[in-house]
Structure 1
Amino acid sequence: MMNATSIPEIIAPLYLANEYLPENPLKAPFRDAWNSMNENYTKFQIATWGSLIVHEFVYFAACLPAFLFQFMPFMRRFKIQPDRPETFDKQWKCFKLLMFSHFCIQLPMITGTYYFTEFFNIPYDWDHMPAWWDIGLRVFGCAVIEDTWHYFLHWALHDRRIYKYIHKLHHNFQAPFGMTAEYAHPLETIILGLGFFIGIMTFANHIILLWAWVTIRLLETIDVHSGYDIPYLNIFHLFPFYAGSRFHDFHHYNFTGNYGSTFTWWDKLFKTDSQFYEYQAKVQAGKVSKKDT
């Protein structure tokens, strides 16, 4: 029988490697800014308004590239459903619901962050700031948990008995664009959003993890809703089992299957991706026009 390797033995090389790496030139200004934030704002302000600012900035900054692509004719070749372009009316309709969702549904949920960090004594200070690889591993753990929660609850929301009452709103856009990532019924925002917080409750060791995780999660969900597939410019495609925009775009096109949020493994296990691969095979065989994919 093989001897079990302890966690400290596994991560010890990471500590040693970090010790010999050159000093990051951004570390000092980041540390000073972080300390200044803690000196000038209360924990409640940091946890609530800081988290809201991070969310809003990352969300709309991540939406911007695909928004601009629609005005660049040479980017049309990368659009997955080119015959269903974005329109101002669609974007304005989406934006109005987003503002309601962000400030009337998500902000009250974000407010609970402060009470969570206080109850579990989660630190805010620089002295307890975890290493970059520690944050990365925990964010990955959050992604696995969220993807699992999202897969099964998303599949459940497609049940014909409840679909038209909740999840149908998200499917108003058969050809998604970045902003539609969080275009959803308030109940769906809460139900699927719980998967985000389960990871935080499991792995949180510093407030920075919340902001790191929300950043990665937003970048990922906006990517898969972007409507564009540019794999060689997308670092997420370096990760095995990453679903990507073409995988999730088919979910909006087809309405069923491909229920995972980030990874493809649950869809592969339960074969809920079979229609997607059958469709892709037809495209390759020339039985379906590529312009419709």
Structure 2
Amino acid sequence: MFKCYKYVIKTFIIAVGPLQIVSYPTIKWLGIRTSLPLPSRWELFWQLLVYFLIEDYANYWIHRMLHCKWSYENIHKVHHEYKTPIGFAAPYAHWAEIWMLGIPAFLGPVLVPGHIVTYWLWFILRQLEAIETHSGYEFPWSFTKYIPFYGGPAYHDYHHFVGGTSQGNFASVFTYCDYIYGTQKGYQYKKRMYEKMFQNHKVD
């Protein structure tokens, strides 16, 4: 556990820290507003939805690429050290992966610039979602279970359990890319198999 904390803090200082120097000029250059008026609820909703969809699609392909032999062995293997991840292990990754998977997170604000409040809220929600997905817990009070095509902890746990040989469940938030491109078949097969085993051994 301490190894995870230490590594994440070190990686953030080295890989993310220097980016803060250029963050404000970059935000202004991209056209993200920093002055009044604040965004309306409707503007917040539709822009956050667009950001989630854009990030999810781009993340799917980068994550899938990270499971190619060279990129997995040299970069993504660090993140898969945790077969049963914990919430804090969400950002436990090689510094190059932090940068690579940071690209999809910035794509939405780049393509659809909004207000700085929307920008901050987007990153807060995305990090909270990543922590929940890696937590290993399906919280009964979480609103995410009502979101269509949401993956969640069980979905991503399978990806970590299979590890480097995993060729499925690449989605970061939603599952539609895995369904469209057929990379959820292994998970669905295992899920049906375990459900059948449970039914066969169910005590009346």
TM-score with structure 2 length normalisation?
Answer: 0.91
Range with bigger deviation, 192-201 or 101-110: 101-110
2:23 equivalent in structure 1: 113
2:153 equivalent to 1:242:
no
Q: Find the aligned partners of 1:228 and 1:171 in 2 and give their Cα distance.
A: 18
* Among candidates 87, 92, 111, match of residue 202 of structure 1: 111
Alignment of 1:1-293 (within 5 A): 91-125=1-35, 127-230=36-139, 232-255=140-163, 256=166, 257-286=168-197
- Residue type matched to 2:144 in 1? F
Q: 2:30, 2:113 within 8 Å by CA — same for their partners in 1?
A: no
Tell me the matched-pair count.
Answer: 196
Q: Find the aligned partners of 2:138 and 2:41 in 1 and give their Cα distance.
A: 29
Deviations 1:114-135 (A, max 9, x none): 112222443322x221112211
Q: Secondary structure at the match of 2:197?
A: coil
Q: Secondary structure at the match of 1:285?
A: helix
Q: Find the aligned partners of 2:131 and 2:182 in 1 and give their Cα distance.
A: 25
Q: Secondary structure at the match of 1:162?
A: helix
Q: Find the aligned partners of 2:58 and 2:21 in 1 and give their Cα distance.
A: 22
Q: Point out 4+ residue stretches in structure 1 off by more than 3 angstroms.
A: none
Relative to structure 1, is the Cα distance of residues 201 and 248 closer, same or farther in structure 2, using a 3 angstrom cutoff? same
Q: Secondary structure at the match of 2:33?
A: coil
- Residue type matched to 2:33 in 1? P
Deviations 1:79-117 (A, max 9, x none): xxxxxxxxxxxx111101110122221122233321122
Deviations 1:18-60 (A, max 9, x none): xxxxxxxxxxxxxxxxxxxxxxxxxxxxxxxxxxxxxxxxxxx
Q: CA RMSD in A?
A: 1.5
TM-score with structure 1 length normalisation?
Answer: 0.64
Q: Find the aligned partners of 1:244 and 1:252 in 2 and give their Cα distance.
A: 13
Q: Secondary structure at the match of 1:286?
A: helix
Q: 2:171, 2:178 within 8 Å by CA — same for their partners in 1?
A: yes
- Residue type matched to 2:58 in 1? W
Q: Secondary structure at the match of 1:263?
A: coil
Q: 2:58, 2:104 within 8 Å by CA — same for their partners in 1?
A: yes
Range with bigger deviation, 113-122 or 93-102: 113-122
- Residue type matched to 1:259 in 2? F
The percentage of counterpart residues that share the same residue type is 30
Give the Å deviation of 1:234: 1.0
Relative to structure 1, is the Cα distance of residues 120 and 273 closer, same or farther in structure 2, using a 3 angstrom cutoff? closer
- Residue type matched to 2:15 in 1? I
Relative to structure 1, is the Cα distance of residues 239 and 172 closer, same or farther in structure 2, using a 3 angstrom cutoff? same
Give the Å deviation of 1:202: 1.6
> 5+ residue gaps in structure 1?
1-90
Q: Find the aligned partners of 2:159 and 2:125 in 1 and give their Cα distance.
A: 21
> 5+ residue gaps in structure 2?
none
Q: Secondary structure at the match of 1:122?
A: coil
Q: Find the aligned partners of 2:94 and 2:9 in 1 and give their Cα distance.
A: 13
